Structure formats: structure tokens, C-alpha cells
Amino acid sequence: MQLNQFNQVPLPDATSLLKHCVNIDSWVTHIEQQRPFKSKSELLSCATQQTQTWSWADIASALSKHPRIGEKPSTSQLSVQEQKYSNTEQAKISQDQDTQQALLQGNMAYEAKFGFIFLIKAVGLSSQEVLKQLHSRLHHDIHTEQQVVKQQLALIALHRLDQGIDP
């Protein structure tokens, strides 16, 4: 969508585009209320600043709707656009059985320790890089990991917004 279109679309359309980036109502509402944006960089700056206001409850809610790394999301869980984003972001994740098993085991260990899914901005990362990060992050304490997840979710949301809006 062109920036000028985003600035002018009805609220439900803007909401839809933004929720495909991250399903956090306060982030979506704030960005909608700031329209119109003079430039894409102004939009991204606003979106970036708003990620700093996310509470852990906001993040946990968004995580509950996010697919696991290496997992093909159910079509009932995600919109068509969210499925496209997820497939593109995880394009370098190998689908071979050994990799899938390693990701499954890592995800299970991570979720058992922290109580939420492992989240990483996977764009451009290989399976081995993702697995290395997953295993490294298993050594974090809960507070540290929540901060890392917040950062990763922000990176994902901003990447999706950047991809969804043309200058």
C-alpha cells in the first residue's frame, strides 16, 4: 500500500494493515491516531517509539497468536497476509526432518522454561543461526528473555510495516 493510501484509508483498513504487523491494540490505535504521515520514515519512527510502550501483557497476547519458529501456521490462526509474512520471514528455515526435530525440541524446552514461544526475527537467518540463538537464549533468566522477546517482536512488527507501506 502506498503511504498516501494508508493515510486516507478508512480506519478498519488501517487497523487491518497494522494488526498484520503485530496484534497489539495500543500500538495500532496510536499509529492510526497519528495519521497522516508526511513520510514513511515518520511513520516508522512513530511505530518504533510506540513499541517502547508495550507491556508484557501486550507482548504475551501477541505471542499467543504468533506461530512457532519452523512451524507452518494453521490457516485458521493467521490471516492470509500474516501467513505470507511468516512464510517469507522463515524462508531460510530448512524443512528437513532433522532441522524440524531440533526446532521442535528446542521450542519445547524454551516453552517449558519460559512459558511462552521462542520468538526471533528470522528474516535472512539460516536454520543453524536460529537454533544457535534458541539454545543461547535458554540460558537467560526470565527478565532478560522478556526484554529480548520485546526487542524481537518490535523488529518483526517494524519489518512488516516497512514491507507493507511503499513511500
Q: What is the pLDDT of residues 134-149, one digit of tens each?
A: 999 999 999 999 999 9
**Residue 5 Cα distances to 35, 37, 113, 125, 165, angstroms:** 11, 11, 44, 32, 9
Q: Check residue 39 and report its DSSP letter.
A: S
Q: What is the pLDDT of residues 7-53, one digit of tens each?
A: 999 999 999 999 999 999 999 999 999 999 999 999 999 999 999 99
pLDDT digit string, tens, across residues 61-118 = 999 988 888 776 544 455 565 555 655 555 556 677 888 899 999 999 999 999 999 9
Examine the pLDDT at 150 and tell me if it is beyond 80. Answer: yes
C-alpha atoms less than 13 angstroms from C-alpha of 122 in its C-beta half-sphere? 24
Distance of alpha carbon 146 from alpha carbon 113, whole angstroms: 12
Residues 6+ apart with CB under 8 A from 130: 69, 70, 93, 103, 120, 122
Secondary-structure breakdown of the chain: helix, strand, coil percentages, each rounded to the nearest 5: 65, 0, 35
Query: 164 with 135: CB under 8 angstroms?
Result: no
